[in-house]
Amino acid sequence: MPLDWIRQSAKPIDTAARDAAAARQAQLTKPPGSLGRLEALAIALAGLQGRERPSAGRVQISVYAADHGVAVEGVSAFPQAVTGEMVRNFANGGAAISVLARALDAQLEVIHLGTVNDPGRYPNVTRDWIAPSTANFRHQPAMDAAQLDHALRCGRHSARNAAQAGADLFVGGEMGIANTTSATALACALTGATPLELAGAGTGLDAAGIRHKADVVAHALAFHRAALGDPLEALQRLGGFEIAALVGAFVACAQIGIAVLVDGFIASAAALAACAINPSVRERLLFAHRSAEAGHQRVLDALSAQPILDLRMRLGEGSGAATAVPLLRLACTLHAQMATFAEAGVSEKA
Ligand SMILES: O=C(O)c1ccc[n+]([C@@H]2O[C@H](COP(=O)([O-])O)[C@@H](O)[C@H]2O)c1
Ligand SMILES: Cc1cc2nc[nH]c2cc1C
């Protein structure tokens, strides 16, 4: 079966490295726990990376761009042409994630899976064409099985690239007009939440626009209801190429043992699908931020995830995750470089 790999177990957490990191934290010159979540993040990264002193130095950011058939339902504040136009902007280095990747000295990979307004070829954008867009999932499955397979493998390819480059951390980003509608439908199918509970403004819908979006999602869920019990089939019917690529990347990173920092609403819906398909993936994911998109908290709750940041961001592209990287780096540097009580000759707690 071509998709067998997606269900293979994630690499187990290295509990010895995690315990050694926790023991080190207890010896550093500070009241125990006083660095709060920075301590927990360093300890978690130690378990994920299998070393007492983890690092967030080498970061790979993979951004997947694709269009959505459901855009014809008028569910986005922006025209569909923007997806292809933003691919050009990624190529020219002017998008937010381009700037963040440069500032972080991270490796940025942009993968163009198919847009209605094809911007053409750029040397620094991988063109891994599937179709101009998914089908409109209000009336038909978004993808066929071959397209789902292609998108999942595209994500696995990024994970393998990250491993080859020796990445400490993987960030998955996405760009796709109308993909919050797809992510909302997928999250409803996987959590049982209603479309009205999860639908949000996306790129900037008003209240009437959000009600219409929820209505489109409700119709789609009714149309596909009989097939939504299987999360892989839910992904095929309601997902996007970029969302499926994120699922493939998250699962493959977890299997290889690369720590994953999950971005906002769409990336978290992909994480939810990845964990529903392969529950062993969950313990290998860190969550970067709480997006301003209305349904994100519900998705984070379903994953029992505690995001690092809450900056009211709602851009996507991997931008929220990239913004959390400096905090992870600081957590690792403190963990590695602070003196212990014994080294510094400081008296311990009475
Ligand atoms: O990541 C988020 O939390 C997020 C929330 C709202 C919008 N977005 C971005 O906006 C686009 C989708 O918005 P929309 O309104 O077209 O569905 C897509 O390119 C996403 O990257 C991203
Ligand atoms: C301009 C623009 C940039 C984006 N980046 C991610 N989603 C986006 C949506 C729009 C509309």
The half-sphere exposure of 199 on its side-chain side, counting CA atoms within 13 A, is: 22
pLDDT along the chain (350 residues), means of 10: 90 98 98 98 98 98 99 98 98 98 98 97 97 98 98 98 98 99 99 98 98 98 98 98 99 98 99 98 98 98 98 98 99 98 96
Q: Is 130 touching ligand 2 by the criterion CB < 6 Å?
A: no
pLDDT for res 1:
55
Q: Is 155 touching ligand 1 by the criterion CB < 6 Å?
A: no
| C-alpha of residue 215 to centroid of ligand 2, in Å | 23
| C-alpha of residue 87 to centroid of ligand 2, in Å | 10
Q: Is 263 touching ligand 1 by the criterion CB < 6 Å?
A: yes
b/e sequence 31-56, b meaning 16+ C-beta within 10 Å: eeeebeebbebbbbbbbbbeebbbbb
CA dist 142 and 161 (Å) reads 28
Residue nearest atom 9 in ligand 2 by C-alpha distance:
203
3-state percent helix, strand, coil for the chain, nearest multiple of 5: 55, 10, 35
- Distance set, CA 119 to CA 48, 68, 179 (Å): 38, 16, 19
Q: Is 54 touching ligand 1 by the criterion CB < 6 Å?
A: no
Q: Going by C-beta distance under 8 Å and a sequence separation of 6 or more, which residues neighbour residue 34? A: none
What amino acid positions are annotated as catalytic residues?
A: 317
Measure the CA dihedral 124/128/133/135, to 10°. Answer: -160
Per-domain boundaries in the chain? 59-328
* Range 59-328 classified under CATH 3.40.50.10210: yes
Q: For the complex shown, is ipTM > 0.90?
A: yes
pLDDT for res 93:
98
- Distance set, CA 98 to CA 1, 223, 262 (Å): 37, 39, 17
DSSP 8-state assignment for residue 12: P
